[in-house]
Structure 1
């Protein structure tokens, strides 16, 4: 059954081999290890649950709450103070007892556990070898992605690549952050050998060879392994036709809900109005495959909760440079709503409802919606866009003093944004001049897409940028806030676990 993972309900898997009392009758409808791992449909469904762990509203790295937390730890956004855990993180007052960071930690290991099931049990299944190998490769990529998330958010964490056979197996000691990255790359490498370059149209959203290469390039970039990043990302950029990648011609089309899974999509998280009708339930049978991020970020005047809202710092960054015809950078009007001429927001002329100093979010918001009573959003989210691949390769070139090779890639990003042609000028830049341009373009290009915090951290500009912006809570920032602490419940439950320094 080849079916998109986002329309599959989560399955409840057996945690281990549990023997039942001989006095109890076996329920023939109960899913167990003995009756589940039998068919292609079973393996497709098992892999679907790994994808689903990434987009869970509270525990998924690409879920509603963590989109807010990634953006809210930068100068570009502020998180409202009505939800304590989120506000603490955004103002750098969080501790190891914070529920939101604990949820993310839990979500990563749920994804790893589900992947380990597929990787361990899949080879034993008597099904089509090609199907089996592809799905196991997807599980390897997704396990590697979860370890990548743990590395960038927590640092040193336990590595587990097998299902627990005894109770002692549950209590793993931490591995170094270097070992976590090595596990990530190992999983990516295994997936790369098997996954296809493209799928049929009805399989959109599944990881491809290009997806793996892009995330592998990001993993190398985040570690400062410039040569490895360059070599990996060149395999994509040098073969655009083969992979089918390009920049979407109009930036705003990326977020209008009408051009999803397009040429710029390298890894796209799938949402829809299929499934149940409830966006709040934990019951898979009644849960909608949509997201409530639209209501989270919309202003109160239209029934939103304004949990995340943009700052003046982000708007000013967008307004630093006009287009060739003297207009506003189209990425600004696709990302933000403010009092600019003819701005329409939730079917209202902006300045008739909101004040001249207010700024609100448009990107990945159904801001064209008239129905304030239905907040289920089916807009997909991007885990990786081709624009990111281009700018990552440009950065790798620049850090290896190949600025002239980086310039055409940055030019493509600027050209779509209708900015002045600076190609010749950029070709003569030194390393720092080009990095300044790349940093600026990444900030504008990926605003609200969850990359800016990690960019600032790896450039060693996080504290400086927060201080300059004086965003709410900036004065609380300390070096320990570059990563989340190991959660309190993990420290309490695992006798082999120790807190990461400097927490």
Structure 2
């Protein structure tokens, strides 16, 4: 890494005092600190591998959305208290610029390197760095809008004087980087366990970046090219796709392996039922449960087959794959939150035991009766950690991005319907041409398909970190996140007002809007459900994040986003 007159800018203006100099991270352990570092492929690969650190990759948090309940707790986003001092804002900005600076350094050194490598191999390495840089800039733009933009290794003084660049200019560079990566990255690597950028990943991320920027034609073209690679296919069983043993499934285009040994795993007790030693605190919301379509393809407020007292019956199968259905075995124990079910069957011991997942026994059982199922298996219980891959992008997303971009362009044909139906048919365990075995999508109305597509994405990608940006880019966060989060009444009222009157589980049917967002206010007005928290979203500013405060303080050329 060249260090004569320039240094890595790991995050722009991230120091106010001398103590903050540690943030500069001038010489990562994976790289040398002299001019001759890039002298062989081992050193180059060490530098490239540094770009794939988990901290540089990932989707957004589920708890920023209406898919999530954490008892009576809100986040900075769902309470409308987000500001430039929030650690998450600082962390996203900081880590993105660390990744960008390291990518810039790699590109610069490879371009001037005298190492004797075939041009094809040298271009592949440069393509990996440009792939990573494009990803980081696209993430910054989607959250902050106009951002600091540079593609060189900068001197310190220059770095602290840069202002923000119009996001359209940044996105042009993002597309150029992705295009270089698409041209020079391999379709696959010889070692299946290697998780590095591929041609398909570059196409998929380009499609996502364009979709988030409403560049519909670019998104459609990139998604279609990814589909036409023929490299990816939907995993046959939706529920099994997310389990640890399927971390190399052909549907996964780009993912980051989790590993306890590498100190990158997920602390899981907040997700697990109390009967299995968990806390049942981080739970799916009622909003999410109500949003799944019924087996006739209709939302719950339009379907003749929906019974609010048996909310898991006659639902899209992804509902039961994502949220544990009542009175079913889960992790070896029957899951039943009904307040009268004070004992449940343990399939591991062959005996009944006290049921700690009901308010009838346990005050801190799930506050809304729901727990997550997606991707969770016995390994979570054995070690209270998860080693499922962190899925960043998969083939189902590419199919639905192709469909969405086509719908927004009003270029609707059979390929669009086929893309959506492939995703839906897989959920039912059906082939796409077996229309009688799943609710086939057949409308060619732009308005109807837009609504269907939005509901489809919510069902397909719950718990995967895509919901937040969907709410933001569709401009419906103000609808979804300005509604209270509801759960079960306290035990005494729950029994007298709901259970004893035969109204368990949902007392009635919530209304669903065209974006799949439910309205529980009628039940709340009748005193039949409990408000857990009052979500807030300030539409005047929250569609963009604030620039970190310390960046503004140290750099007079940086401007803040409106409202912060």
TM-score range, shorter chain: 0.7 to 0.9
- State the distance in 1 between where 2:469 and 2:380 align: 32
**Mapping of residues 433-472 of structure 1, within 5 Å:** 433-468=448-483, 470=485, 472=533
Specify whether residues 349 and 40 from structure 1 end up closer, same or farther in structure 2 by C-alpha distance, changes over 3 A only: same
Distance 1:307 1:165, change over 3 A: farther
Summarize the Cα distance change of 1:337–1:73 in structure 2 as closer, same or farther, 3 Å threshold: same
Q: How do 1:80-95 residues align onto structure 2 when only pairs under 5 Å count?
A: 87-95=75-83
Q: Which residue of 2 aligns with 1:154?
A: 144
Residues 1:51 and 2:79 aligned together: no
Q: What is the CA deviation profile of residues 101-155 of structure 1, one whole-angstrom value per residue up to 9, with x for unaligned ones?
A: 1111101011111111111112233042333321210110000000011011111
**In 1, Cα distance between the equivalents of 2:69 and 2:277?**
19
The answer as to 2:49 corresponding to 1:34 is no
Pick from 380, 384, 394 the counterpart of residue 369 of structure 1.
380
Q: Distance in 2 between matches of 1:254 and 1:50?
A: 26
Q: 1:317 aligns with which of 291, 313, 334?
A: 291
Question: Do the aligned partners of 1:17 and 1:33 also contact (CA within 8 Å) in 2?
Answer: no
TM-score by length of 1: 0.81
- Does residue 1:354 correspond to 2:357, yes or no? yes
Q: What residue ranges of structure 1 are gaps of 5+ in the alignment?
A: 1-12, 20-28, 276-287
The corresponding residue for 2:124 is: 134
Aligned equivalent of 1:480, options 541, 545, 563: 541
Does structure 1 conserve the Cα–Cα contact (< 8 Å) formed by 2:260 and 2:385? yes
- 2:438 aligned with 1:427, yes or no? no
1:77 aligns with 2:87: no
Q: Whole-Å Cα distance in 2 between the matches of residues 197 and 105 of structure 1? A: 30
> Following superposition of structure 1 onto structure 2, how do residues 290-309 of structure 1 map, counting pairs within 5 Å?
290-295=264-269, 297-298=271-272, 302=276, 304=278, 308-309=282-283
Tell me if 1:337 matches 2:324. Answer: yes
Among candidates 240, 260, 265, match of residue 253 of structure 1: 240
Specify the SS of the correspondent of 1:120: helix
The answer to whether 1:413 aligns with 2:436 is no
Report the alpha carbon displacement of residue 228 of structure 1 after superposing the two structures with TM. Answer: 2.1
Contact 2:285 2:485 in 1 (8 A): no
Structure with the larger helix share: 1
Q: 1:393 aligns with which of 383, 402, 405?
A: 402
**Structure 2 CA distance for partners of 1:18 and 1:323, relative to 1, 3 Å:** closer
Give runs of aligned pairs for residues 114-263 of structure 1, distance below 5 A: 114-125=102-113, 126-129=115-118, 130-240=120-230, 244-263=231-250
- Which structure 2 residue ranges, 5 or more long, are not aligned? 8-29, 299-304, 306-312, 337-354, 360-367, 487-532
More contact order relative to length (CA 8 Å, sep ≥ 6): 2
Cα distance change, pair 427–496 in 1 and its aligned pair in 2 (3 A): same
8 Å Cα contact 1:291-1:376 kept in structure 2: yes
User: Following the alignment from structure 2 to structure 1, what is the Cα–Cα distance between the partners of residues 474 and 164?
Assistant: 26
CA shift at 1:402, angstroms? 3.0
Task: Say whether the 8 Å CA contact 1:261–1:268 is kept in structure 2.
Answer: no
Question: How far is the alpha carbon of 1:80 from its aligned partner?
Answer: 6.2
Q: How many residues are matched? A: 449
CA apart distance, 1:468: 4.9
Q: Distance in 2 between matches of 1:426 and 1:176?
A: 39
> 1:303 offset after TM fit, Å?
5.1
Distance between the aligned counterparts of 2:277 and 2:138, measured in 1? 36
Residues 1:411 and 1:111: Cα distance change in structure 2 (over 3 Å)? same
| Deviation readout 1:129-183 (Å, 9 max, x if unpaired) | 3333212101100000000110111111100211113522343111112122222
For the Cα contact (< 8 Å) 1:291–1:378, is it kept in 2? Answer: yes
Compute the displacement of 1:341 (Å).
Answer: 2.8
Distance 1:149 1:122 in 2: 25
Compared with structure 1, are the counterparts of its residues 102 and 18 closer, same or farther at alpha carbon in structure 2 (3 Å cutoff)? closer
Deviates more, 1:144-153 or 1:189-198: 189-198
CA offsets, 1:390-439, max 9 Å, x none? Answer: 11111122122233331111111111111893899743431111111111
CA–CA distance in 1 between the matches of 2:158 and 2:403? 46
CA–CA distance in structure 2, aligned partners of residues 453 and 323 of structure 1? 24
2:526 aligned residue: none
CA contact (8 A) 2:3 2:33 kept: no
Is the CA contact (8 Å cut-off) linking 2:379 and 2:385 kept in structure 1?
A: no
Deviates more, 1:425-434 or 1:482-491: 425-434
**Which whole-Å CA distance do the structure 1 matches of 2:4 and 2:485 have between them?**
50
Q: Which has the higher strand share?
A: 2
Change (3 A) 1:18 1:314: closer
1:343 partner SS: strand
